[in-house]
Amino acid sequence: MKRTMITTCLIALSVVGFSQTKPADTVVIKVGSGSKLILAVHDKKDLETMKQYDFQKLISDLIVKLEKEDTSTHHKPSFEYLKTDSARLAKAKETVEAEKEDWGVDWSSNHKESRRFRKRTYHSMNFDLGTNNYITKNGFPDQDNSLYTVKPWGSWYVGINSVQRTRIANKFYLEWALGASWYNFKFQNAQTQVSKDDNSVIFQPDTRDADFKKSKLTASYLNASLVPMLDFGGNRHKPSFFDGYNADSFRIGVGPYVGYRIDSYSKQVFKENDSERKPRKHDNFYLNNLRYGLRAQIGFEDVDLFFNYDLNELFAENKGPQLNAFSFGITF
């Protein structure tokens, strides 16, 4: 008897419009000898929506519930009963709406991989390319015509960094990186020869009878940096060369870095007896093993400028001239 009562209950499918008080158009379909299927339509505009639903699937699910004598409320979301194409569109729309609510971000941009913005940390590989020099307490060495005076053009600074950007707030993120860099100090005087004795590094003119082309001192470091950044675009990470996204935000930051020297060498290029020679000597030349300082960054769109200044001296105390190295250039 109970089963008969359940199977003869009314199944009401109501598509409700803007007005609940408007009388509904009702369609009554007799099923078997004692059951009825009632369809109430309050707004004829909903008929177009009804065309997108798979009623056969809906009725099949309800029959299964009735056969099991399950009188609980049916909780399946409506898009589960949309036809294939319509269901896919409805599911996508629901996902986007949920993400809007969860993250408070305008997802109407043209990014094809918008889900990436749900991350808090982004990774990229960056390259620093610029020039380097050093200063003394009294200014640049060229003011004293010192042998270790460097050429501003040709003294290249090169760096490669694995960068992580962690967003802390809408307009603030931390940029922390590990990488390697190379100082190349190309001397103004191509005859400058770098050597050392037991007490200090020595810069002296090379007296050989040769046509000198170039002389330089190179030092390479492993580095770590942490730069807090203000991002005036908000809700965007600074893109790198590999990200494929465009950014129109202005950003600026200053933070510390530390480096450990892994190699250093001097190199000369000259012609002697009609043959070109390029002798290279690997030595520490009393260079400090550690370097530390401050890094400033400023950027807009895909372009960033950097400035590094070493707070400690290039050479060990009392082992060479008192020089603080710096570099600046472009990051891409």
DSSP assignment of 57-99: HHHHHHHHHHHTT--SPP---GGGGB-HHHHHHHHHHHHHHHH
If one compares 61 and 222, the residue with the highest pLDDT of the two is 222
User: How far out from the chain centre does Cα 292 lie?
Assistant: 25
| 13 Cβ neighbours under 8 A, 6+ residues apart | 38, 39, 40, 55, 58
DSSP 8-state symbol, 315: B
Average pLDDT value for residue range 135-148:
92
Taken in order 285, 286, 290, 293, the sign of the CA dihedral is: negative
Cβ-based burial of 141 (10 A; exposed 0-12, middle 13-18, buried ≥19): buried
pLDDT at 20 exceeding the cut of 60: no
Encoded tokens for 239? 């893109």
Q: What's the longest Cα–Cα distance across the chain?
A: 119
Asked if 58 and 39 touch (Cβ cutoff 8 Å), the reply is no
How do the domains of the chain map onto residue ranges? 2-85, 114-331
* Percent of all residues in the chain with a pLDDT value above 90, rounded to a whole number: 50
Per-residue confidence (pLDDT) for residue 288, from 0 to 100: 98
* Percent of all residues in the chain with a pLDDT value above 70, rounded to a whole number: 72
* Residues 72-105: tens digit of each pLDDT: 665 566 666 666 665 556 555 665 455 444 434 4
Per-residue confidence (pLDDT) for residue 254, from 0 to 100: 98
Tell me which of 30-39, 185-194, 232-241 is least confident. 232-241
Q: What is the mean pLDDT of the chain?
A: 80
Per-residue confidence (pLDDT) for residue 5, from 0 to 100: 43
| 312 Cβ neighbours under 8 A, 6+ residues apart | 288, 290, 291, 292, 293, 324
Per-residue confidence (pLDDT) for residue 16, from 0 to 100: 38
Rounded to whole angstroms, what are the CA distances from 261 to 132, 180, 221, 292, 315? Answer: 16, 10, 4, 11, 12
* Residues 246-269: tens digit of each pLDDT: 455 789 999 999 999 999 999 999
Per-residue confidence (pLDDT) for residue 19, from 0 to 100: 42
Per-residue confidence (pLDDT) for residue 61, from 0 to 100: 77
Per-residue confidence (pLDDT) for residue 71, from 0 to 100: 62
Average pLDDT value for residue range 280-287:
97
Write down the pTM of the prediction.
0.63
* Residues 199-253: tens digit of each pLDDT: 999 999 999 999 999 999 999 999 999 999 998 875 444 443 333 334 557 899 9
The angle subtended at Cα 281 by Cα 279 and Cα 284, nearest 5°, is 160
**Residues facing residue 193 across a β-bridge:** 204
CA 139 to CA 91: how far, in whole Å? 66
Tell me which of 167-181, 187-201, 277-291, 310-324 is least confident. 167-181
Q: What is the CA radius of gyration of the chain?
A: 36
Per-residue confidence (pLDDT) for residue 3, from 0 to 100: 46
